[in-house]
Each structure stands twice: as structure tokens, then as C-alpha cells.
Structure 1
Amino acid sequence: MTEWRLAPLTTARVTALAACHIASWREAYDTLVPEHVPSGFDLDRSATTWERRRAEGTHRIPTALAGDELIGFAAATDAELEALYVRAAWHGTGVADALIDAAAPGSPCTLWVFADYPRAHGFYRRHGFADTGVHRVDPFTMLPEQLWRRAAR
């Protein structure tokens, strides 16, 4: 497998990040969410959202690159890990570990994770997160989610 590296999100990579987000989402949740949910994604709208977050400077958004291909990314504020996506071909390679460490470096933070997603649960447990017992229904997918928290390391 090609070597990869981390790099900050730049304006030039925003559309690639949006495309990676959509593709990773479909790969990760294809059996979890109803078919009509992923069809609602819009590349341009997603790119606009990610560019706004990048420009505002309120999120740490490291990206993972294999050559010039954007293969994963994370997004975190000081309090919440809001996104962590890696293309399926790169699962198990350490890309996600590096991204979470870059986006939320040892900080106490929270994240929302689908209740019925054991693969993610195992990953987040390895990174010090635990289910808080707080649950909600995700408004986009209508699936149950759990709030997980990591204490300071």
C-alpha cells in the first residue's frame, strides 16, 4: 500500500475532502442507514460547509493524503470530535489513529456515534472514549446515537 502523510486542510483540498467524506460515509454505513440517506449528499454543498469551517478556524481539520489523493480526515473543536472518516481501503493502517491524535490530541472531548456500530465503538474505546449513557436520534439518518466522552489524558 502507498505511504500516506497528514497535512492541514487547504482551500485547494476542500472539494477532495467533501468527496472523501461522502465516499467514506457510504462505505462505512452502507448496511446501517436506509438507501435514500446517502443519495441526499451534495458535493458542492458539502464543500461549502467544509470551506466555511476551515476559514473560520474553529475546527482542527487534519487530512490524510496518499500521494495527492485525500484518503481521510478528522474535524474537531476544543470540545467535540465532529468527524473522523477514512476510506475503507485504508482501514486498519493507522490512518484513523493518526487523524484522531492530530484533531483531538489527548484532550477531553465528546463525540456522537451510531448506537449500532460496533467497529467504531471498539476504535473509540481504544482511544479512551466511553459511552456516557446519553442517547438521541440523529436528525439526518433517524438512527439512534450515543454520546461518548474521553477524559483528559
Structure 2
Amino acid sequence: MSRWRIESLTAEHTHGLAECHIACWREAYDGLVPRHLLDAFDVDRRAAQWERTRVKYPRSTHIALSDGIVIGFASAGSPKDEPPAADLELNALYIRAPWYGTGVADDLIDVALTPGVSCSLWVFAENPRAQAFYRKHGFALDGAHKIEDFTPALMVRMVRAAREGDQR
């Protein structure tokens, strides 16, 4: 596998991000999210959604590219929870399956999160691989849970406190 580079999302890559996003969901959530929901995702609609996000929240989404192809992404912004559990929320972090364990996700999380700022995220309760990754990056379950909006799967919240000495 060739090396990757991380950069902010540009209009040039919204379609590639949409393809990556859908592929990541299908790879990671087969058996957890009903198949008909995974099959219903549409690349053009997802690309339009990412373009709206890119315009509204510039520099909130970062992509990992290898040979010009989007192989992963991370997106963070203001928390949606009321009251917020942290100052920042990691909304998405996905990597294509062939890139698991290569360090791409580590690079993306480092770029997406602001040093010294607390952060929360929601993850499927039945996704131990993702939870282990987030624990490695200082996140811990805080006891909050909810049902995902589009599937009956249980989500759990993880929070990372602002860490002294976090600097780039």
C-alpha cells in the first residue's frame, strides 16, 4: 500500500468522500445496520450533503488520500447534545477496511481534534473495535446512550477530557 496524505475537504473530493463514506458504512456495519438501509445509500445525494457541509463548515472535515483516492475521513464540530458533554464533537471517523491498522485513523483523529479541548462522540454499542480505538486515544464511556436515528442500533457516548500538555 502506498502512503497517504491528510488534507481539508475540497469540492474536488466531495464525490470521492461520498463513495468512501458509503463503502465504510457497508464494510463496518454489515450485520449491525439492516442491509436494506446500507443498500439504499446514494453516492450523489451523499456527495451533495458533503458539499453543503464543506461550504457551511469549512475545515471541519479532513480526508485521507492515497493515489488521489479518498480512503478515510474525519469530521468534527460543535456538539449536538444538550447539554453538551464536551466542547467539541467528533461526528465521523471512517477508514476503508484495507487501511485498518495502518495509522490512517490515528493521523485523522490527530488532525480532526483540537489539542487541549474536550471532545465527545457517539459509537455503536456493538462496535468493540471502534471503542477500543477511541479508548487508545483517551476516550471513555460516560454512561449516556441513545438509539440511532435511522436504525434500532444502540449508540453509546464516549468523552475525552481536555488533556494538559496537548499540543501540536
Normalising by the residue count of structure 2, what TM-score does the alignment of the two structures yield? 0.87
Partner of 1:66: 66
**Distance in 1 between residues matched to 2:41 and 2:5, nearest whole Å:** 27
In structure 2, list runs of 5 or more residues that go unmatched.
79-87, 164-168
Q: 1:105: which partner in 2?
A: 114
Alignment-derived partner of residue 84 in structure 1? 93
SS in 1 for 2:35: coil
Corresponding residue for residue 148 of structure 1 = 158
Residue 37 of structure 1 corresponds to which residue in structure 2?
37
How far apart, in 1, do the equivalents of 2:46 and 2:59 lie? 15
- For 2:12 and 2:23, locate their aligned partners in 1 and report how far apart those are by CA, in whole Å: 19
Q: CA RMSD in A?
A: 1.2
Residue 28 of structure 2 corresponds to 28
- Cα pair 1:24 1:87 within 8 Å, conserved: yes
Name 2:131's counterpart in structure 1: 121
Could you tell which deviates more after superposition, 54-63 or 91-100?
54-63
State the 1:109 CA deviation: 1.0
Unmatched runs of 5 consecutive residues or more in structure 1: none
The offset of 1:75, in angstroms, is 0.3
1:96 correspondence with 2:71: no
After TM superposition, give the deviation of residue 80 of structure 1 in Å. Answer: 0.6
- Asked whether the 8 Å contact 1:114–1:143 carries over to 2, the reply is yes
Cα deviations across residues 67-126 of structure 1 (Å, max 9, x unaligned)? 111100000004210000100000000000100110113331111000011001100000
Structure 1 runs (4+) deviating above 2 angstroms are none
| Percent of aligned positions that are identical | 52
| C-alpha contact 1:53 1:59 (8 A) present in aligned 2 | no
Contact residue 60 and residue 75 of structure 2 kept, 8 A: yes
Query: Normalised by the size of structure 1, how large is the TM-score?
Result: 0.95
Q: 2-side partners of 1:57 and 1:36: how far apart?
A: 30
- The structural deviation recorded for 1:140 is 1.1
Alignment partner of 1:80: what SS? strand
**Number of residue pairs matched by the alignment:** 153
